[in-house]
Structure 1
Amino acid sequence: MLNRTITPEFKQVIDINFLVPNKQQLDNGIPVFTINAGQQHLVRIEFIFENVNYNALKPLQAIAVNQLINNGTPSLSAKEIAERVDYYGAFLQTEYGADQSSVRVYTLNKHLAAVLPILKSIITESIFPEQELAIFVQNQKQSLQVSMQKNDYLARKQFANEIFGNTSYGSSIEPEHYDAISRQELLDYFHAAYKPENCTIFAAGKFDADAFEILNRNFGGNWGEQVPFQINKFDFKIKDRKEIFIERPEAVQSAIRMGRLAINRSHPDFPGLQVLNTLLGGYFGSRLMANIREDKGYTYGIGSAVVSLRDAGYFFIATEVGAEVCSSAVKEIELEIEMLKNELVQAPELDLVRNYILGSMLGSLDNAFSHADKFKNLHFSNLDYSYYDRYINIVKTITPEELLVLANRYLQQEHFTSVIVGKK
């Protein structure tokens, strides 16, 4: 009989097993990484394209193309595309990221042969009708106007621009950028970026040899004209401390975002920095939550994160607090950072963080799709599965002394950019 009055014993995760994809290649050279697993006859196929030819004067090209790519081809209107995909019970999704853009489809295996020709038309023949572009511009401008009234959006936008400048990582999008979009610019970008030599395919689910043959039959040939392209490449330097205040006199709450340029997944310090970040603000039991939310009552939520991009990484802390306690909240955040730089973490707290990180990783691997996502992190960082072995080992064995070194290396507030939107 289970005695519910006794707290279950903590046990550290011992092994985490990853499904390693099978690498294949279409007839035209496109690499295909396949994880054939799961019980349901369902498959997700994802086409990922590197973002290319970045032009600071046209920051919306890649974004607009990705969002409008399924809005019309020579043979299918936006309505017809949606109806045909729905008819087969499939789901089509596009996603723009700072480094790559993707088009993915979820479908039952029995409908794969019917769904992929629709996807092929979208990826190889999109025409970006003027009417659909006009609707997109109108909707996005309205959405931007709403976002510009939110303090947290303004803080996030200003922070990224200060750290990364007018690159795809930090471009400050304004309404006039939407007004400047032309259909020809979208077509130019589409023909440059959405091509076999700039494509990687990830397939997960019940994806067997027959499914691969259907994929190859649809996407293994010539996609059309060859247009020159250059994959985006950026270089950034750590900056000195900078404090930015955007006053909103009517604000009830002030948004705070602070942080700095850091490292990405390819750096050997990255796993240890993730542990340090989790201690500070990376989960609900973190020090920032305990202090700013639970003890002081300044906010409903506060968190920190280390983000890995292809050409950089960055660390940030974000929260919204009552305008009258904004200065006090900033001081408490700075005190928590200094404590990590000057005092050793105690074993019980560190053990809790270890268990949280390992448990979260194990819990995130619940299906073939999540295993494919974990592999994508490696692939686009030019890493192999030894990264996860090393990551898990560091989480299990990192010492308080090593965390102290990392805190003094990466939490130097003399390199922090701080943005406050609202009232100090």
Structure 2
Amino acid sequence: MLNRTLVPDSMQVNDIKFIAPQQQQLDNGIKVYTINAGKQALVRIEFIFDNVNFDATKPLQAVAVNHLINNGTATLSAKDIADKVDYYGAFLQTEYGADQSSIKLYTLNKHLKSVLPILKSILDDSVFPQQEVDLFIQNQKQSLQVSLEKNDFLARKNFAHAIFGNSSYGSNISYADYDALQQQDLLTYYKAAYQPENCTLFVAGKFEQTEFELLNTVFGQQWNNKEVSIKNSFEFQASPKGDIFIERPDAIQSAIRMGALGIKRTHADFASFQVLNCLLGGYFGSRLMANIREDKGYTYGIGSAVVSMKDAGYFFIATEVGADVCGNTLTEIEKEIDRLKTDLVPDGELDLVRNYMLGSMLGSLENAFSHADKFKNIFFSGLDYGYYARYIETVKTIDANHLRELANQYLNTEDFVKVVVGKK
């Protein structure tokens, strides 16, 4: 009989297997990376486009085009597109990111022949009807008005602008930017960005030669428009350290966001720094959670993260706390960072973090879609699967002395941008 008073033995994850994609190419040169896996006749096809031609005076072009791209073509209205896609039980999803924008198609294989021409029309013949542009502007301005009342939104917005300035990573968007959107500007950006020479395809699911040939017929042989574009590229100096305080006299809670420019995925220390971040604030059992939530009761949640983008990396800590304990929270955050810089992490705590990180990695590889997502992470960083092997080895072998060295090298709070919105 099972003795439930005994704690089960825990074991470290020893091996994590990744499914590498098959690389092919359409007739017009578009590279296709396919994770052919799974038993169900379901496929996700993701068209990813680098963001291009950034203009600081028109910072919303990329996000507006991505949002509106499936809202009307020369022959199909937004309703027509939605009805046709729904009829086949498919799903279209657009997604805007700091470096790339995408449009994803989820469909059953048996309907691929019917759905691909709809997507082809969207990518080749969108017209951005003026009424859809006007509605987008109206809705987004209303959304911005609501968001500007939220302390955490203001903290995130001002933090990004402080370290990234007027780049696409940190544009300080205002109502005027929405009012300045013009249909012709959106069409110009659409033609420059959403073209075969700026496209990479990632496919996941049941995708055999028959499906590839169908994809090639629609997009490799019939999609050939070319426009001149320049991929976005930014350079950033060291963070302009200092405090940004936005007074909200009636605030019950204050939002805190602090951090600085840092390293990105291509840096040799990135995996090691991820372990350090996990200890500090990267999971529910982290030191920041244990101190500021569990012990002090100042917040429902606090966390830290290491973010890697194409042209920059950064580290941040974020939380919302009672306005009356905001100052105390800032003090406790610095105490936890100082502890990492002076004291060695106990073996038991480090083992817990190792198990969490390796378990999270293994748990994130649950299907063909997630394997494709893992590949995209390294593809857009110019890395290969050796990155994951080094990551796993680092998590398994990093020691307390190295973590202390990293804390002293990268967690210098005197160089942080610190944003507080509410009452300090």
Per the normalisation by structure 2, the TM-score is: 0.99
Where does residue 353 of structure 1 map in the other structure? 353
Partner of 1:15: 15
1:312-345 CA-to-partner distances (Å, cap 9, x unmatched) read 1000000000000000000000110111111111
Return closer, same or farther for 1:37/1:224 CA change in 2, 3 Å cut-off: closer
Aligned-pair distance for 1:2? 2.5
Mapped partners of 1:81, 1:3: distance in 2: 58
Shift of the alpha carbon at 1:240? 4.6
CA shift at 1:3, angstroms? 2.0
**Which structure 2 residues correspond to residues 141-156 of structure 1 after superposition, within 5 A?**
141-156=141-156
Q: In the TM superposition, what is the alpha-carbon distance from 1:222 to its structure 2 partner?
A: 5.0
Taking the aligned partners of 2:20 and 2:144, their CA distance within structure 1 comes to 41
CA distance in 2, matches of 1:222, 1:62: 25
Please list every run of at least 4 consecutive aligned residues from structure 1 whose deviation after the TM superposition is greater than 6 angstroms: none
Q: 2: CA distance between counterparts of 1:224 and 1:141?
A: 36
In structure 2, the partner of 1:227 is 227
Instruction: Give the drift of 1:4.
Output: 1.8
Q: 1:222 to 1:41 in 2, by over 3 A?
A: closer
Residues 79-136 of structure 1: CA distance to partner in whole angstroms, max 9, x if unpaired?
0000000000001000000000000000000000000000000011110000000110
Distance between the aligned counterparts of 1:237 and 1:258, measured in 2?
A: 17
Alignment of 1:74-223 (within 5 A): 74-221=74-221, 223=223
Q: Secondary structure at the match of 1:238?
A: coil
Give a deviation string over 1:140-166, Cα, whole Å, max 9, x none: 000000000000000000000001001
Q: Tell me the secondary structure at the aligned position of residue 136 of structure 1.
A: helix
Letter in 2 for 1:401: N
Matched residue pairs, number? 424
Structure 2 residue runs of 5 or longer lacking an equivalent are none
Q: Hey, what does 2:278 align to over in structure 1?
A: 278
Measure, in 2, the Cα distance between the counterparts of 1:330 and 1:92.
Answer: 43
CA contact (8 A) 2:163 2:240 kept: no
Deviation (angstroms), 1:239 = 2.5
**What is the CA–CA distance in structure 2 between the aligned matches of 1:397 and 1:25, rounded to whole Å?**
39
Unaligned runs of 5+ in 1: none
Residue 256 (structure 1) shift: 0.2
> Is contact 1:158-1:172 (8 Å) kept?
yes
Q: Distance in 2 between matches of 1:32 and 1:261?
A: 33
CA contact (8 A) 2:196 2:225 kept: no
Percentage of pairs with the same residue = 68
The answer to whether the 8 Å contact 2:28/2:223 transfers is: no
CA distance in structure 2 between the aligned counterparts of 1:187 and 1:224, rounded to whole angstroms:
17
SS at match of 1:339: helix
What RMSD over aligned residues (CA atoms) do the two structures have, in Å?
0.7
Question: For 1:274 and 1:314, how far apart are their aligned partners in 2?
Answer: 12
Question: Residue 397 of structure 1 aligns with which residue?
Answer: 397
Paired residues for 1:35-74 under 5 Å: 35-74=35-74
Task: Give the Cα–Cα distance (whole angstroms) in 2 for the partners of residues 416 and 342 of structure 1.
Answer: 19
1:250 and 2:260 correspond: no
Please state how far the C-alpha of 1:221 moved relative to its aligned partner.
2.7
The answer to whether the 8 Å contact 1:240/1:414 transfers is no
Asked whether the equivalents of residues 46 and 203 of structure 1 are also in contact (C-alpha less than 8 Å), the reply is: yes
Amino acid at match of 2:159: F
Secondary structure at the residue paired with 1:105? strand
Offset of residue 237 of structure 1: 1.3
